[in-house]
Amino acid sequence: MSSHPVVALTSPSSWALVEDKFSPFAKETLAKLITFVQEECIPAARVAHAQLPTEYERRWKTVIPIIEELKVKAKKLGLWNLFLSKAHYPEYGVPLTNLEYAVMAEVLGRGGHMASEAVNCAAPDTGNMEVLARYGSAEQKKKWLVPLLNGEIRSSFSMTERFVASSDATNIRTSIRREGNEIVINGHKWWISGAGDIRNRLHLVMGKSDASNPDTHAQQSIVIVPSDAPGVKIIRPMTVFGYDDAPEGHCEVIYENVRVPLSNLVLGWGKGFEIIQGRLGPGRIHHCMRSIGMAQMALDLMIQRVTDPTRKTFGKYLFEHGTVVADIAQSRAEIEGARLLVYSAALQIDKFKAKGALKEIGIAKFVVPSMALQVVDRAIQAFGAEGVSQDQFLASAWAGLRTLRLADGPDAVHIQQIGQRELKRAAALTKQAAETKKKENLLMEKNGFKAQL
């Protein structure tokens, strides 16, 4: 394994910690994936960029040819839907554990958004496929899941709302109501990733079907809305810093009296909250590992830049500055620690499902993006103005990573939740401390000293 370029170049020691938990199939797949990303995806990035028109209108009508070519290659290589664990989805899944896929997700992160799409492991499709595979009806699976698994169509998850603090899902206002054999949807969403893509065929829309239910977690339902249903209005793409992320986009979307058949309800009335709970755990780990891949890539670029023999300032090469060397050491250490935290969370999911790994997932969720942002920021600084420009992947990587501190719950929410979970250890700790105190006092008296209160 250590002969594979990425692993050998980066962290043999973290690999040593998990190697014996990898199946032969996983090792082989990882090796193929490393080669595919390095040899095929990374060199294709500039072409993909060139194939995206600068003209505004045409940007949103483009299917980038080279990505479609990569998809064909990946499928042939068996590098497809790797995110979908057979253990949880026996019918569709790939025999990989969460830990095994986590290591692969870092490799995908090195290849940017494109590599993930090439192997059909790109958000938000991944989460949507999980939802449909777990909760979809036979008809829903046939109609939506199969083409998604085949990479023929794309999809959106439509949850975040404008004018609403929707990081708390109980605040959602979109209305989903039954009218005869139909469901009528009205709502104002934004940041709907992928909604600008002409390949998009469906939105999984979260809304309130029973707003007065005293159980605030039973008010929500999720409905499949075809992208071309009358009343689905794509208002505009939101920009992330200055990026519009065409041709997929993160769009403002209004659902105005959109009507779908009853059979488009997912799982059942009032099951919206349950569905999103199940959707989140592993997806967060994937995001984290891709982020680590991006951080590692940034560090690798930084190392190349500071050793570039043509870059000498004030009589010194960049790598001769102690502060530059320190930045590199810090970055290495931070990436390493974060990587191990995510491995640990992934293993925890494998052992106890997402529910039994909430603390580990939460820690990874708030630690990794901040870490990666810092590493990328240092790399930007090493590159000078070029670092903030379109000529390096650093600035767009930074922008993408920055949204991860907000998406799927802002840092503060996760930090508070982890803190609350830690606080649950208080009772056991206090009990133990009382026992220790008792023993301590016995020992004090036995040794001729006064016991304490």
Binding mask 132-161 for its own copies (x = CB under 8 A): ----------------------------x-
Rounded distance, CA 453 to CA 445, Å? 13
What residues have CB less than 8 Å from 281, skipping those under 6 apart?
349, 353, 354, 355, 357, 358, 361
Q: Is 72 in the site for its own copies (CB under 8 A)?
A: no
| From 264-272, 273-281, 287-295, 331-339, span contacting its own copies (CB under 8 A) | 331-339
- Among 13, 76, 138, 212, indicate the residue that binds its own copies (CB under 8 A): 13
Number of other residues whose CB lies within 10 A of the CB of residue 430: 10
Residues in the interface with its own copies (CB under 8 A) total 129
Q: Is 277 in the site for its own copies (CB under 8 A)?
A: no
Rounded distance, CA 34 to CA 15, Å? 14
Rounded distance, CA 28 to CA 50, Å? 33
- Among 137, 175, 186, 403, indicate the residue that binds its own copies (CB under 8 A): 403
Residues 26-45 that bind its own copies (CB under 8 A): 38-39, 42-45
Q: Decide if 205 contacts 185 (C-beta within 8 A).
A: yes
- Among 184, 218, 234, 340, indicate the residue that binds its own copies (CB under 8 A): 340
Q: Is 129 in the site for its own copies (CB under 8 A)?
A: no
Q: Is 449 in the site for its own copies (CB under 8 A)?
A: yes
Q: Is 248 in the site for its own copies (CB under 8 A)?
A: no
Residues 354-393 that bind its own copies (CB under 8 A): 357, 359-360, 363, 366-367, 380-381, 384-385, 387-391
- Among 182, 210, 274, 411, indicate the residue that binds its own copies (CB under 8 A): 411
Q: Is 54 in the site for its own copies (CB under 8 A)?
A: yes
Q: Is 173 in the site for its own copies (CB under 8 A)?
A: no
Q: Quote the tokens at residue 119.
A: 């192997």
What residues have CB less than 8 Å from 109, skipping those under 6 apart?
115, 289, 290, 291, 292, 293, 294, 296, 297
- Among 117, 348, 374, 401, indicate the residue that binds its own copies (CB under 8 A): 348
- Among 343, 369, 372, 374, indicate the residue that binds its own copies (CB under 8 A): 343
Nearest-approach distance from CB 139 to its own copies, in angstroms: 34
Nearest-approach distance from CB 53 to its own copies, in angstroms: 9
Nearest-approach distance from CB 114 to its own copies, in angstroms: 13
Q: Is 436 in the site for its own copies (CB under 8 A)?
A: yes
Rounded distance, CA 124 to CA 445, Å? 65
Number of other residues whose CB lies within 10 A of the CB of residue 91: 9
